[in-house]
């Protein structure tokens, strides 16, 4: 992720803070009763890995999972049946290069060409990787042995694995992350800076929760990517944003986690605070430690028996997966068509991604076969008074250095202080 100049990024955050709708305050709402056993849903969206890359080799001990056999391969040139093959391997690196995952790259990976009317044979990963660098084909076809990802292996064996969970859009991070909380990218197909700065206007699960008297909290480490939703820039929502390091463990220990919890990783890789989001070329071992910390924190919480943790990925990041992507029967969520030159109709999905559901209500070793990213959140949304939500994933495109990180948090703290002062003078608000 390329670094941005501090003045530009600072302007970006100031713009978010003083956006035109930022001065709304929260009226008192009667909280709805949740009848089901799950009172708190925790959502953790990691970055840019396919199912086969992360969990594919789990099939060696869990044959019911649709993973890898070792016979899967792609040819360097799809159109040439005599072209050399590159087979899947189990020697993935913890710190590796970043494969292609633009809309164009993903189309070639799925269809083997630019023609999306063909069957999705998942045969173009090596061909597309070869265009990037000489060693990329081996990287995109590699996966991790279960033994080297012990946290995921243990969670997968103890709880539920979804092996039909696909990214909502065959595109990069931000469009997918928008789907996570709003079931649409509002036409976004890539990370366009001016659109992200302006903010996206669609209705989100946060709006539904707020209107129904249910609570949500966003625990961030660098900066919250959820601020790309325009409605979350309102001043009334400042108290919904929390420093992960200062508040997450404390709230969990005190039994004060809200109904809907979003955990945001460290997206930026710096020496003192290495990234823990799994985005190549960030160290997957650090991501494993982060997931372990989250699980152990939740397991020790007095809320554990009324909780579910959903761990998934925004998109596949260019890594191979053998399961064909659904290309029919996918409804456009809002009728919006993507921008030129592709005019994508949002009528097919992205590549399969790893997804694990953790909860005391999940039977050990469960394997599930969900087709979209939406259904499982629809299920949990029904537990939260039938609030309908979709799910997906995406990625911050702005880099931030240590100075800007401090400046931003000071500004955020100042806003919270100002709000508290206003409330002190006007308690009716």
pLDDT tens-digit readout, 308-353: 999 999 999 999 999 999 999 999 999 999 999 999 999 999 999 9
- Cα 14 from chain centroid? 25
Look at strands 160-162 and 356-358 and give their pairing: antiparallel
Give the whole-angstrom CA distance, residue 70 versus residue 385: 45
- 10 pLDDT tier (thresholds 50, 70, 90): very low
pLDDT tens-digit readout, 226-269: 999 999 999 999 999 999 999 999 999 999 999 999 999 999 98
pLDDT tens-digit readout, 52-104: 999 999 999 999 999 999 999 999 999 999 999 999 999 999 887 899 999 99
What local confidence, expressed as pLDDT, does residue 15 receive? Answer: 53
Q: What percent of the chain has pLDDT over 70?
A: 78
Q: Is the pLDDT score of 213 beyond 80?
A: yes
Give the whole-angstrom CA distance, residue 229 versus residue 240: 14
What local confidence, expressed as pLDDT, does residue 14 receive? Answer: 53
Phi/psi for 196 (5° steps) reads -65, -40
> 185 with 169: CB under 8 angstroms?
yes
pLDDT tens-digit readout, 13-37: 555 555 444 555 555 566 777 888 9
Mean pLDDT of 39-54: 98
Burial class (CB in 10 A: 0-12, 13-18, 19+), 293: middle
> 212 with 32: CB under 8 angstroms?
yes
Give the chain's end-to-end CA distance (angstroms, integer).
42
What pTM was computed for the model? 0.83
- 223 pLDDT tier (thresholds 50, 70, 90): confident
Facing residues of 45 across strands?
312
Count of helix runs (H) and strand runs (E) in the chain: 13, 10
Size of the chain in residues: 429
Give the tokens for residue 220: 């961030």
What SS3 class is residue 403? helix
Q: How far is CA 427 from CA 25, 27, 420, 421, 424, in A?
A: 11, 11, 10, 10, 6
Closest C-alpha among 326, 371, 315 to residue 349: 326
Q: Is the pLDDT score of 388 beyond 80?
A: no
Handedness of CA 102, 107, 109, 112 (dihedral sign): negative
Helices (DSSP H) in 112-248: which residue ranges?
A: 125-132, 136-140, 150-158, 173-182, 193-198, 205-211
Q: Is the pLDDT score of 401 beyond 70?
A: no
Better-scored residue on pLDDT, 7 or 184: 184
Facing residues of 358 across strands?
309
pLDDT tens-digit readout, 278-319: 999 999 999 999 999 999 999 999 999 999 999 999 999 999
Facing residues of 89 across strands?
142
Give the tokens for residue 163: 């092996």
User: Which residues have CB under 8 Å from 271's CB, separation 6+?
Assistant: none
Q: Is the pLDDT score of 176 beyond 60?
A: yes
* Domains of the chain as residue ranges with CATH: 6-72+146-425 (3.40.720.10)
What SS3 class is residue 224? coil
Facing residues of 146 across strands?
none
Give the whole-angstrom CA distance, residue 343 versus residue 189: 9
Closest C-alpha among 112, 173, 124 to residue 317: 173
What SS3 class is residue 244? helix
What local confidence, expressed as pLDDT, does residue 393 receive? Answer: 29
What local confidence, expressed as pLDDT, does residue 366 receive? Answer: 79
Q: What percent of the chain has pLDDT over 90?
A: 70
Q: Is the pLDDT score of 109 beyond 50?
A: yes
Helix 150-158 vs helix 284-299: crossing angle, to nearest 10: 40
What local confidence, expressed as pLDDT, does residue 35 receive? Answer: 82
Dihedral angle of Cα 57, 62, 64, 66, to the nearest 10 degrees: -10
Tally Cβ neighbours within 10 Å of residue 236: 17
Give the tokens for residue 405: 């990180």
């Amino acid at each position: 992720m390329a670094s941005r100049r501090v003045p530009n990024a600072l302007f970006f955050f100031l713009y978010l803070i003083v956006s035109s709708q930022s001065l709304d305050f929260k009226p008192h709402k009667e909280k709805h009763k949740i009848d089901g056993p799950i009172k708190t849903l925790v959502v953790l969206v990691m970055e840019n890995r396919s199912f086969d890359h992360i969990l594919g080799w789990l099939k060696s001990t869990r044959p019911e999972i649709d993973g890898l056999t070792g016979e899967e391969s792609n040819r360097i040139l799809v159109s040439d049946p005599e072209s050399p093959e590159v087979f899947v391997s189990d020697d993935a690196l913890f710190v590796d290069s970043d494969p292609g995952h633009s809309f164009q790259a993903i189309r070639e990976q799925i269809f083997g060409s630019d023609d999306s009317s063909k069957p999705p044979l998942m045969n173009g990963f090596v061909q597309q990787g070869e265009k990037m660098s000489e060693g990329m084909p081996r990287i995109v076809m590699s996966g991790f042995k279960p033994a080297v990802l012990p946290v995921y292996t243990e969670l997968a064996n103890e709880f539920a694995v979804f092996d039909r969970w696909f990214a909502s859009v065959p595109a990069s991070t931000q469009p997918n992350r928008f789907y996570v909380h709003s079931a649409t990218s509002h036409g976004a197909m890539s990370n366009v800076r001016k659109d992200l700065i302006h903010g996206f206007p669609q209705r989100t699960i946060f709006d539904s929760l707020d209107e129904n008297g249910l609570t949500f909290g966003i625990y961030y480490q660098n900066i919250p990517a959820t601020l790309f939703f325009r409605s979350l820039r309102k001043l009334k929502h400042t108290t919904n944003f929390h420093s992960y390091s200062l508040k997450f463990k404390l709230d969990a220990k005190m039994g004060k986690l809200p109904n809907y919890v979003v955990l945001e990783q460290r997206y930026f890789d710096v020496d003192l605070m290495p990234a823990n989001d799994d985005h190549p070329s960030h160290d997957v071992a650090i991501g494993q430690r982060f997931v372990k910390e989250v699980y152990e924190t939740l397991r020790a919480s007095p809320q554990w028996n009324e909780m579910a943790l959903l761990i998934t990925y925004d998109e596949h990041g260019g890594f191979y997966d053998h399961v064909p992507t659904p290309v029919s029967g996918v409804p456009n969520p809002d009728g919006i068509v993507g921008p030129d030159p592709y005019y994508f109709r949002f009528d097919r999905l992205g590549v399969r991604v790893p997804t694990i559901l953790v909860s005391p209500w999940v039977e050990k070793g469960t394997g599930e076969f969900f087709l979209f990213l939406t259904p499982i959140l629809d299920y949990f949304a029904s537990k939260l008074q039938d609030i309908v939500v979709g799910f997906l994933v995406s990625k911050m495109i702005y880099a931030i250095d240590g100075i800007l990180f401090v400046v931003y948090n000071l500004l955020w703290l100042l806003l919270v202080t100002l709000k508290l002062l206003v409330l002190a003078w006007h308690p009716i608000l």
